[in-house]
Amino acid sequence: MDIIKKVNALGLMSGTSLDGVDIAAITTDGIDVYEFGPAMTVPYEDGLREKIRSVLGKKPDDLENARQICAVEQELTRFHAEVVKDFIETYGGIYEVIGFHGHTIHHEPQNGYTHQIGDGRLLADLTGIKIVNHFRNADISAGGQGAPLIPVYHAALCGTMEKPIAVLNIGGVSNLTWIGVNGEMLAFDTGPGNAPVNDWVLRHGGMHMDYNGKLAIQGQVNEKIVNALMRHKFFAQYPPKSIDRDIFKDKLENLEGLSLEDGAATATAFTAEAIAYSLAMYVPQLPEKLIVCGGGANNPTLMRFIRQRLHNVEVVSASELGWNTDAVEAQGFAYMAVRRLNNMPISFPGTTGVPVPMVGGEIHKPESSGDHR
């Protein structure tokens, strides 16, 4: 058996918020994290962002769709390669592996299907670094939800903290990791994250997001609409569970007719209400502390709404603990890439509903034409 060693790894994350690519470096053996390296976010150019948006929800089930998805995948991969190149030119460093999430365009775990675009073989050749991608596929094939995957990294970060504790990641979708006093884990998507707000302000204000929650704080929450949105069947399902970013799209038509500010406030309140409801209904014991990371942690209005709904829980931004709020997911995929090299599981019955702990990810070596499994 190979000796487990410390590895310098990069992680790449393109979240459902469509804001850009997060890249982060860590040193880890797949168990402990020894060093946090630099991190940065590179926004998508508008043209590429719209191309990605154009394939959301599509499957390569006919020639036209397949060609469109392939073309976007190639452009997305080359963009990631440029991000890696710029990162290394800026910060230096030698890296043994890159965890490459790609971008989720369709996630339908109830039908055993998930699709993340991103060509691991091409990225390996373009960067000259070993790539691990397709982290979700083995879990989905074994009957799991394929998400969330970051809990194994959250558990490493929270190793010495008092339990029970919970970590909430708010990207396009929100997902929760709950860790009990004995280290047991429960994880699931709580529902919407930034996606409803982003989609609303793009459609009605021509902006990619509600920067710092400035629109929402000026608006009035329509509680009747929030209550209607909370009647979605997803909220009655017991974990583990995961969702596609667009699952609430039809119900969000209830926002039409509101002002830009009121719509932003109501969509933001919907995300906060879904988080509070999930904590109240589905975790074995309310956590002492809820650590919020991801893009949503940078939205003070959303953080305020969450705190208003969780009176008995200390709600803190990950940055208050010294974590890089925007880098946690990218760091997580670097961490999972190293676990894949060491054949360690990344998903578990309590996190994705998979029957047994699962190793996940496909390995691609630069200029290799051999077996990449």
CA torsion sign for 49, 272, 293, 144 is: negative
Q: Which fold has domain 151-325?
A: Nucleotidyltransferase; domain 5 (3.30.420)
Enter the pTM of the model: 0.88
Annotated domain spans of the chain: 7-144+333-345+355-364, 151-325
Query: Which are the contacts of 336, defined by CB distance < 8 A and separation ≥ 6?
Result: 99, 132, 135, 149, 152, 153, 346, 360, 361
Q: 201-243, pLDDT tens digit by residue?
A: 999 999 989 999 999 999 999 999 999 999 999 999 999 898 8
Q: Are 20 and 44 in contact (CB under 8 A)?
A: yes
Topology agreement, domain 7-144+333-345+355-364 and domain 151-325: yes
Q: CA separation (Å) from 367 to 84, 85, 154, 199?
A: 17, 17, 33, 40
Token code pair at residue 102: 């790609």
- Is residue 118 within 8 Å of residue 101, measured between CB atoms? yes
Residue 206 neighbours by CB under 8 Å, 6+ apart: none
pLDDT score of 12: 98
The per-residue pLDDT for 18 is 86
Average pLDDT across the chain, whole number: 94
Sequential DSSP letters for 303-337: HHHHHHH-TTSEEEEGGGGT--GGGHHHHHHHHHH
Given this model, what pLDDT does residue 370 score? Answer: 41
Rounded to 5°, the CA angle 301-329-107 comes to 90
pLDDT at position 273, please?
A: 98
Q: 89 is written with which tokens? A: 């030119």
Percent of the chain with pLDDT over 90: 91
Q: Please report the pLDDT score of residue 245 as a whole number.
A: 86
Q: What pLDDT does 120 receive?
A: 98
Closest to 193 measured CA to CA, from 289, 59, 92, 329:
329
Rounded distance, CA 228 to CA 38, Å? 43
Tell me the two tokens of residue 217: 């704080």
Block means of pLDDT (10 residues each) for the chain, 373 residues, are 85 88 98 97 95 95 96 98 98 98 94 96 98 98 94 95 96 94 95 94 94 96 97 95 89 95 98 98 96 94 98 96 92 98 97 96 80 37
Between CA 200 and CA 204 the distance in angstroms is 6
The string of pLDDT tens digits covering residues 258-307 is 999 999 999 999 999 999 999 999 999 999 999 999 889 999 999 999 99
CATH architecture of 7-144+333-345+355-364: 2-Layer Sandwich (3.30)
Q: How crowded is residue 45: how many other Cβ atoms within 10 Å of its Cβ?
A: 11
CA atoms 132, 362, 179, 275: torsion sign:
positive
pLDDT at 2: 63
In this prediction, residue 326 carries a pLDDT of: 85
